[in-house]
Amino acid sequence: MAIQMLGFVVFLKLNNLSIAGVPPINKTLFKTAKMAMMIVWLSFLIQAIGRLNLSVFEGSYFIKTIAAVLMVIGISIQLISYIYLGKNLKFGIPNNKEKKKAVLKTNGIYQLSRNPMYVGFYLILLAASLYVLNPAVWIFSIFTIIIHHKIILKEELFLKNTFAEQWLNYTIKTRRYL
């Protein structure tokens, strides 16, 4: 995950891009969900490094293996999503000036899901929750998923208003998640 984030930052810097969009929901709730996500990721990292055991329950090797596989799949899906979005990647929705440059992505991984980046993100949260086995991590993960679903609904409203018929045709062929 750390390598993914570092690569992402380097990509943005090399292309002189900003991913800061306009929060589609209440700004405080938006930022709180991002912070909850970071707490879940950090708990996974701390547990994986083995410096501190955050688990409340004993996890079997089988569960840890499933968590590791889900983590790899989730990160891979996110990376592919980032690559396909390229310069259109935003956390939030584009501001009025950027809205004119927005492009609806419907090919590649976006043929399988309207929100593959979130599918990968949810898999990462599930993996961390299985790996850490701590109710606090589960609560942060559930909160994060609920808020990000609200973000998706607002982002999809933006896409509907921006791309009208093209968006409608896309939603008929492609599901929100899987």
167 within some domain: yes
Range of the domain at 158: 57-91+105-178
Of 7, 12, 23, 18, which is closest to residue 148 (Cα–Cα)?
A: 23
CA distance 63 to 47: 14
Residue 118 included in any domain: yes
Q: What is each CA distance from 9 to 13, 105, 167, in whole angstroms?
A: 6, 22, 29
**Residue 55: closest CA among 66, 65, 63, 43:** 43
- Looking up residue 127, the CATH number of its domain turns out to be 1.20.120.1630
> What is the token pair recorded at 45?
């990292």
Residue 21 lies in a domain: no
pLDDT at 108: 95
Token pair 């992402």 is found at: 8
Reduced to 3 states (helix: H, G, I; strand: E, B; else coil), residue 28 is helix
Query: Could you give phi then psi for residue 20, rounded to 5 degrees?
Result: -75, 105
Residue 177 pLDDT: 96
Spatial separation of the C-alpha atoms in residues 126 and 164, rounded to whole Å: 34
Model pLDDT, residue 159: 95
pLDDT tens across 94-119, in order? Answer: 887 778 888 999 999 999 999 999 99
Residue 134 lies in a domain: yes
Question: Which pLDDT value is given to residue 96?
Answer: 79
Strand, helix or coil for residue 93: strand
User: Is 70 contained in some domain?
Assistant: yes
Question: Which of 4, 124, 5 lies closest to 74 in space, CA to CA?
Answer: 124
Q: Give the residues of the chain that fall short of pLDDT 70.
A: 1-13, 15-19
81 within some domain: yes
User: What's the pLDDT score for residue 90?
Assistant: 77
